């Protein structure tokens, strides 16, 4: 998802930095950027193009009508962030952005400016998501992004990126967004317990086997917790369908959506319901096709399915059985 903002940087003539991404992240990111451009085009076709450069909702008269929470997200306190909004990029910007990206496999090294060795490792969060090590002159840094130790679909967290480094930089503290605030608006952070010597040695001792270390850290219950959340969503979706309603699910992390498709189809089948599942996206087919041919980017459980002759994910079977339908746009004649 972070790649969606990359064309804004590329569009700036003063931006000249080198861009690195894993092969999977670059491919999926390009498709999602093109989908965003397509959605913008569809909106213009529906509402017409006889409008100013900025949409009507960005006028101060409309902004004042927004809910305070939404207003604060959109324009900041007292509208201070309103000037930060920019027109969306176009397909040409996306292609130029893609050309600037140097893609790598997990564990593949590349040299920057003949001084730095850069290497990506799986973060476990998403297909193609990564942590990075940067080495130079006997020193090393790990750039640690949002990570999951035990993923139900992506390649599991690779702890080798944490071993033997001089510095670890946390680049994503998004988990802190859920920390509660007190009456004065201060965050109530959980009590931090200093690591013991044995905790530190878990990362520093090279004598431990990979299997032993994995067992010691992959006990967080992250995967089961995520599955519980998906089960919760499916249960309420089935209740809505039984009541005669429809369920609209925004697309977020791709891997979660793929799991949700599998879980909700099972829930529909077990409830003896005949309900179609629709995906509206200009790149839906490309995304789903790609995710079933990338065994090197998914977890071992998914890889074993492929070796057994099964697809990595279940959406292919859903399409064959006409339980899952793909549409490029919401105004498609077939969709209506």
Write out pLDDT tens, residues 82-91: 777 888 899 9
pLDDT band, very low/low/confident/very high, at 186 (cuts 50, 70, 90): low
* Angle ∠(148,233,151) on CA atoms, nearest 5: 15
pLDDT at 178: 44
195 pLDDT exceeds 90? Answer: no
pLDDT at 202: 46
Full-model pTM = 0.80
pLDDT at 160: 80
Q: Which is more confident, 185 or 330? A: 330
Q: Which is more confident, 55 or 132? A: 132
50 pLDDT exceeds 70? Answer: no
265 pLDDT exceeds 80? Answer: yes
49 pLDDT exceeds 90? Answer: no
User: Do residues 4 and 36 touch, judged by C-beta distance below 8 A?
Assistant: yes
What residues are paired with 277 via a beta bridge? 324
180 pLDDT exceeds 50? Answer: no
What does each C-alpha distance from 86 to 9, 82, 142, 280, 309 come to in angstroms? 11, 10, 33, 26, 47
Rounded to an integer, the average pLDDT of 247-262 is 89
pLDDT band, very low/low/confident/very high, at 227 (cuts 50, 70, 90): confident
pLDDT at 261: 93
SS3 322: coil
User: Do residues 323 and 276 touch, judged by C-beta distance below 8 A?
Assistant: yes
> For residue 127, which of 303, 253, 308, 279 has the smallest C-alpha distance?
253
User: Do residues 163 and 191 touch, judged by C-beta distance below 8 A?
Assistant: no
Rounded to an integer, the average pLDDT of 17-23 is 95
For 120, list phi and psi in degrees, rounded to 5. -90, 145
217 pLDDT exceeds 60? Answer: no
What is the rounded CA–CA span in Å between residue 94 and residue 100? 10
Q: Which residue has the tokens 């292919």?
A: 316
User: Do residues 323 and 285 touch, judged by C-beta distance below 8 A?
Assistant: no
Q: Which is more confident, 212 or 251? A: 251
pLDDT at 149: 84
User: Do residues 21 and 3 touch, judged by C-beta distance below 8 A?
Assistant: yes
pLDDT band, very low/low/confident/very high, at 173 (cuts 50, 70, 90): low
> How do residues 91-130 score in pLDDT, each as one tens digit?
999 999 999 999 999 999 999 998 999 999 999 999 999 9
pLDDT band, very low/low/confident/very high, at 216 (cuts 50, 70, 90): low
Lowest mean pLDDT among 199-213, 255-269, 291-305: 199-213
pLDDT band, very low/low/confident/very high, at 210 (cuts 50, 70, 90): low
147 pLDDT exceeds 80? Answer: yes
Q: Are strands 324-327 and 101-104 parallel, antiparallel or unpaired?
A: unpaired
323 pLDDT exceeds 80? Answer: yes
DSSP H or E stretch at residue 143: strand 139-144
Q: Which is more confident, 285 or 12? A: 285
What is the rounded CA–CA span in Å between residue 88 and residue 7? 9
> For residue 156, which of 102, 222, 101 has the smallest C-alpha distance?
222
pLDDT at 198: 46
> 321: how many CB neighbours lie within 10 A of its CB?
9
Token pair for 144: 């640690």
């Amino acid at each position: 998802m972070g790649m969606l903002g990359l064309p804004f940087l590329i569009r700036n003539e003063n931006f000249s930095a080198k861009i690195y991404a894993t092969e999977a992240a670059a491919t999926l990111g390009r498709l999602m950027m093109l989908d965003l451009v397509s959605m913008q085009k569809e909106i213009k076709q529906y509402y017409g193009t006889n409008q100013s450069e900025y949409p009507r909702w960005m006028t101060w008269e409309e902004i004042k009508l927004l809910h305070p929470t939404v207003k604060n997200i959109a324009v900041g306190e007292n509208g201070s962030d309103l000037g930060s909004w920019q027109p969306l990029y176009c397909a040409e910007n996306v292609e130029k952005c893609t050309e600037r990206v140097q893609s790598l496999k997990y564990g593949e090294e590349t040299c920057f400016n003949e001084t730095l060795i850069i290497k990506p490792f799986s973060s476990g969060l998403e297909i193609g998501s990564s942590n990075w090590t940067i080495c130079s002159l006997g020193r090393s840094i790990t750039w640690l992004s949002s990570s999951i130790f035990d993923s139900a679909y992506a390649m599991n967290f690779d702890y080798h990126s944490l071993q033997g480094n001089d510095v670890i930089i946390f680049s994503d503290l998004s988990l802190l967004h859920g920390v509660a605030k007190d009456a004065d608006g201060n965050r109530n952070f959980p009590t931090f317990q200093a690591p013991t010597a044995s905790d530190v040695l878990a990362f520093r001792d090279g004598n431990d086997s990979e299997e032993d270390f994995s067992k010691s850290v992959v006990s967080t219950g992250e995967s089961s917790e995520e599955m519980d959340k998906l089960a919760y969503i499916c249960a309420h979706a089935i209740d809505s369908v039984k009541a005669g309603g429809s369920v609209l699910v925004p697309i977020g992390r791709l891997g979660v959506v793929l799991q949700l498709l599998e879980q909700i189809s099972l829930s529909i089948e077990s409830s003896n319901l005949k309900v179609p599942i629709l995906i509206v996206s200009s790149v839906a087919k490309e995304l789903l096709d790609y995710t079933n041919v990338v065994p090197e980017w998914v977890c071992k459980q998914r890889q074993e399915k492929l070796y057994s002759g099964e697809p990595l994910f279940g959406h292919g079977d859903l399409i064959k059985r006409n339980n899952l339908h793909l549409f490029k746009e919401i105004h498609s004649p077939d969709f209506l």
